[in-house]
A and B are shown apart, each in its own frame.
Chain A
Amino acid sequence: MSVLRLTCRKKKSKTKDRGKFMLTIKHLTKHYKGSHKGVTDLNLEIAPGDIYGFIGHNGAGKTTTLKCVVGIHDFEEGEIYVNGASVREDLMQCKKSFAYIPDNPDLYEYLTGIQYLNFISDIFEVSAKDREERIRKYADAFEITSSLGDLISSYSHGMKQKLAIISALVHEPKLLILDEPFVGLDPKAALILKKEMRQICAKGGAIFFSTHVLDVAEKLCNKIAIIKDGRLIASGEMKELVRDGYSLEEMFMEVADHGKTD
C-alpha cells in the first residue's frame, strides 16, 4: 500500500527566477566537523503564501537546515536565497526579511519582557508608533501584557515562547522560520499563533516551520517536506502527497520507514 505520490518530489519548478520564492534552498550540504550528521544536498522552494511544514525524526536534520537558513550555521555547499538575497553573500539583507524562533528560546534573562521587545524593534528599526501598536496587539492577544515589566528570568517556558513569538511578529517579517513553535504553548496561544501564521501568508509572506505535531501540520500547512538522515525524501503540496483517506501521520510513518535516502 502506498499512501503517497512520490512524483511530487520530482515535480520541481522550472523557473530560475529565485526572486519569485520567499525561500530557495539549493543543494544545501552541511556536516558537523568530524561527524556524518547534518544535511546533504537538500533542495526546497517556498513561495509567498506557503505554510511549509518540515517533518522528520529526531536528529534527521530539521534544526540544522533551519539554522543554516537563518545564518546561525555556515554551510559547505549549496546556496540559500531569502526573498531573492543570498545567505552567503548578503546575510544582513536576508535577516531583515525573516524572523526566527528556535525550539527552546533562550532569551536575555537579565532584560524585562518589554526591554527585549524594544531591543528587537530597535534592531529591525521599527518606528515607535508601530512597535507600540504591535506590542499592544500581540501582548494582549497572548495575555502577557501585565508581565512585560518583569525580568524574563521570572517567566515560565510558555511565557518565554510567547515573548519570542511576539518579538518575531513585531517587525512584520516576510518569512517566519519556526522550530517546533507549538511546544510549551497553551491551547489558546497555539490557536492565536496559527491564526497569525495564516494572516502572514494571506499578506504574501511565508512560513517555514518544523514540527512533530503531525495533526497540526496536516491542518495548517499547504506544503510539506520530509527529511530523513539529512536528505529530503519527499516534498510538495500536502494534497498531492497525502492520498485521500489517509492521514499525514500514516504517510509519514511509511515514508520514514521505507523512504530511500540515497
Chain B
Amino acid sequence: MGKQISILTRVQLCNFLKLNEFRYTKDQGKKWKMTGLAVVWLMLVAVMCFYVGMLAYGYIFIGLDRVLPMYLAAISGLIILFFTILKAESVIFQKKSYEILCSMPVSQTAIVVSRFLSMYLGNLLLSLVVMVSGMIVYGYYLRPGIHFYLFGIVGTLFLPLLPMTIATVFGALITAVSSRMKHKNMVKTILSVLLVFAILGGSSLFTKVEEEFTVEMLQNLSGIVEKLIGRIYPPAVWLGRAMVEGNTLQAVWYFGISIIGFLLMVGILSKNYQKINQRLYSTTARHAYRLNHLKRNSVLETLYKKELKRYFASSIYVTNTIIGPIMMVLLAASTLIIDLEEFGFYFPMTDRLIDLMPFALAATASIMTTTCTSISMEGKEWWIIKSLPVDAKDLFDSKILVNLTIVAPCYLISEVLLMIAFRPGVADMIWLIALPAILIIFACVFGITMNLVFPVFQWENEVTIVKQSASAMIGGLGGCLCIILFALPVLFVRQIPTDIMKGIVGILVMGITFLLYQKNKKVKLQEL
C-alpha cells in the first residue's frame, strides 16, 4: 500500500508541477518560461515571508506575542480550507486517471490518499512559509524553550491535514449529493459557491466582537484574540498553547484530532469511492432524438453559444470565476448597510468612497476573469478551432462576451445599489456607471492577452488550468492589480480635479484595452 501511494503521488506531482515537461522538453523557450514562472513563485514566497515576518514583529511589539502562533496557524488553516474546498472534489475524483487506475491492482485507499497527498504538499509549503517565518521572528525576540520549536515544526507538518480533511469531506459531500441529481454540474456549482461564501462569512467573524471594548478588555487583548480564534478554529489555539506554554495535553488534542479526522475521512471515502465515481461519471443517453428544423447562427453567435456551454459544463470553472462578480454585489450592498460615519473611523478616505467605488467594484469583479483561462480550457479540443475557418478576433470576442455575460447582471445590480446608497450627482453618476464598465472590459481583454502568453492545452484536470496555471494567476490577479494601480492617481493626485482625473484614467484604460485587443486579434492560432 505504501509503495502504491508513493508511486501514485509521484505521478500526480509530476502532472501538477509539470516536472517531466521541464526535464524532458527540448524546447528551450518553454524551459525559460517555466524557469521564469518558478522565479515569480519564489519571489511571491519571499514577499509572503517578509509580510508574515513584519506581522509577527508587529504582534510582538504590541504585546500580542502569546497569540501569535495560534493566529498564524488559524490564518494558514483558513487559507488552506478556502483554496482546497474549491479544488478538492476535482482532484480527488479525477476521471481520466481513475479509469486507468480502476483496471489496475491498486487499492481505493491508495488512490484517495495519493490524491490527498498531492494537494497536501502544496498546502504544506504555504504552512511552512507562514509558520516558519513567524517562528523565526518569535524565536529571535522571545527566546522560547525547545517545546516551542518541537511542537511548532511538527505542528506545521500537521497543519494542512485538518482543513484539507474538512475541505475534502465537504467536496465529497457536494459530489455525492450532486451525483444523484439530474443537473449534476449546476447543483455542484451552486453548493460550492454557497460553501465558499459560508467560509468567507465565517472567517469575517474574526474581526467581529460582540461586546463593547472596555479598558480592562483592551488590557487583555490577547485573551480577546484567543477567544475569537478559538471560536473560529479551535485547533489553532491548541497548537498555539502547545507551542507557547509547552502544554502537552493541548498538543495531544491537536495531533489527535488531525490524525483521527484524516483517517476517518480516508476510511469513509475509500469505502464509497467507486460508488461516487460511478454515479458521477455515468452519462445518460436517451437515444430518442428526432431531427427537426435547425436554426442558422452567425459565426460569433455560434462561438458564443459554444463558449457559454463550455463555461457552465465545468463546476470548478464557474465556482472560481463567479465569486468575484458576487462579491462585487456584496460590496455594493455593503454601502447601503454600513454607517459611513462609523466607517470613517476605520477608513480615513470615507469622503472619497464615491471615487474609490468604481475601481473597487471592477477589481472585485475581476479577481478571476473567465477569459484568463478560456483559451487553455479548450484543451485537447483545441484542434477543432485551429482547423476551422475561425478568425482569432471572433474567437476571442466570444470569450470576452461570455465573461461580460457573467459579470453583467452583477454589475447592473451593483450599480442600482450604488445609486441608492450614494444618490450621486450627474457627473458622479456617469463615472460610477462608466468606469467599472471600462475597467471590467479591460480585465477581460487583459485576461485573453495573458492566456495567449501562457497557453496550456495539455492537461488532464481542469483544476490545473483554473487554479494553478500561470495565466490564471497573472491574468486574474494581474488584472485586479492593474485596476488598483489605475485608482491611485484618482485618489491621490490632488492637483488635478477628480472628475478630470477620472476622465484621463478612463481614456487611458480604454486606450490600453484597445491596444491589447488589436494585438490579440492579430495572433496566429496555429502558432499557439
B348 close to A (CB within 8 Å): no
B296 touches A132 (CB 8 A): no
**A residues 147-192 touching B (CB-CB < 8 Å):** 147-151, 153-155
Q: Does A115 contact B (CB under 8 A)?
A: yes
For B306, the closest partner residue in chain A by CB is: A119
How many angstroms between the C-alpha atoms of A11 and B390 in the bound complex?
A: 37
- Do residues A123 and B291 form an inter-chain contact, with CB atoms below 8 A? no
* B301, closest chain A residue (CB): A122
The residues of B that contact A153 with a CB separation of less than 8 Å are 283
Confirm or deny: B384 has a beta carbon within 8 angstroms of a beta carbon on chain A: yes
- When the two chains form the complex, which single residue of B25, B291, B299 contacts A122, counting CB atoms closer than 8 Å? B299
Q: Which of B289, B313, B381, B383 contacts A145 (CB 8 A)?
A: B289
Most chain B CB within a 10 A radius of its CB, from A35, A107, A110, A136? A110
CB distance from B27 to the nearest CB of A (A): 4
Among residues of A, the one whose C-beta sits closest to the C-beta of B313 is A110
Is B219 in the interface zone, CB < 8 Å from A? no
Contact of B28 among A33, A73, A110, A114 (CB under 8 A): A33
Within the complex, the shortest CB–CB distance from B183 to chain A, in Å, comes to 12
**Chain A interface residue bracket vs B:** 35 or more
Known interface pairs A32-B26, A72-B526, A115-B309; A154-B284 also in contact (CB < 8 Å): yes
Decide yes or no: A121 and B27 within 8 Å by CB, A150-B286, A150-B289 being known contacts: no
Distance of A96 Cα from B297 Cα, bound (Å): 17
Instruction: Give the contacting residue for B285; candidates A72, A102, A147; CB below 8 A.
Output: A147
Chain A residues within 8 Å of B313, by CB: 109-110
A124 at the B interface (CB under 8 A): yes
Q: Is A127 interfacial (CB 8 A cutoff)?
A: yes
A220 within 8 A of B: no
Q: Taking the complex as formed, is B495 at the interface, i.e. its CB lies under 8 A from any CB of chain A?
A: no
Cβ of B526: which chain A residues have Cβ within 8 Å of it? 71-74, 91
Tell yes or no: B298 within 8 A of A by CB: yes
> Does any Cβ of A come within 8 Å of B182's Cβ?
no
Known: A33-B30, A35-B26, A110-B313. A135 touches B291 (CB 8 A): yes
Q: What are the residues of chain B within 8 A of A125 when measuring CB–CB? A: 296, 299
Nearest-Cβ distance from residue B470 to partner chain A, whole angstroms: 19
The answer to whether A34 and B25 touch (CB under 8 A), given A72-B526, A119-B302, is yes
> Nearest Cβ in chain B — how far from A38, in angstroms?
12
Q: CA separation between A102 and B295, bound complex, in Å?
A: 27
Q: A-facing mask of B376-390, CB < 8 A → 1, else 0? A: 000011011011111
- Docked complex Cα distance between A127 and B286 (Å): 28
Q: Mark A29-73, 1 if CB is under 8 A from B, else 0.
A: 000111100000000000000000000000000000000001111
B310 within 8 A of A: yes
**A162 smallest CB distance to B (angstroms):** 14
B288 contacts A by Cβ under 8 Å: yes
Interface residue ranges of A90-131 to B (CB < 8 Å): 91-92, 95-96, 100, 102, 106-115, 118-128, 131
A2 interfacial by beta-carbon distance below 8 Å:
no
Known contacts A128-B294, A146-B288, A147-B289; can you find 14 more A-B pairs with CB under 8 A? Answer: A32-B27, A33-B27, A34-B25, A34-B28, A35-B26, A72-B383, A72-B526, A108-B306, A108-B310, A110-B309, A113-B289, A119-B306, A122-B296, A146-B287
Binding site for B on A (CB under 8 A): 32-35, 70-74, 91-92, 95-96, 100, 102, 106-115, 118-128, 131-132, 135-136, 139, 145-151, 153-155
| 22 CB-based A-B contacts, threshold 8 Å | A33-B27, A34-B27, A70-B386, A71-B386, A72-B383, A95-B388, A102-B383, A106-B383, A110-B313, A114-B291, A122-B298, A123-B388, A128-B294, A131-B294, A135-B291, A145-B290, A146-B288, A146-B289, A146-B290, A148-B289, A149-B286, A154-B284
B binding-site residues for A, Cβ under 8 Å = 25-30, 283-291, 293-299, 301-302, 305-306, 309-310, 313, 380-381, 383-384, 386-391, 524-527
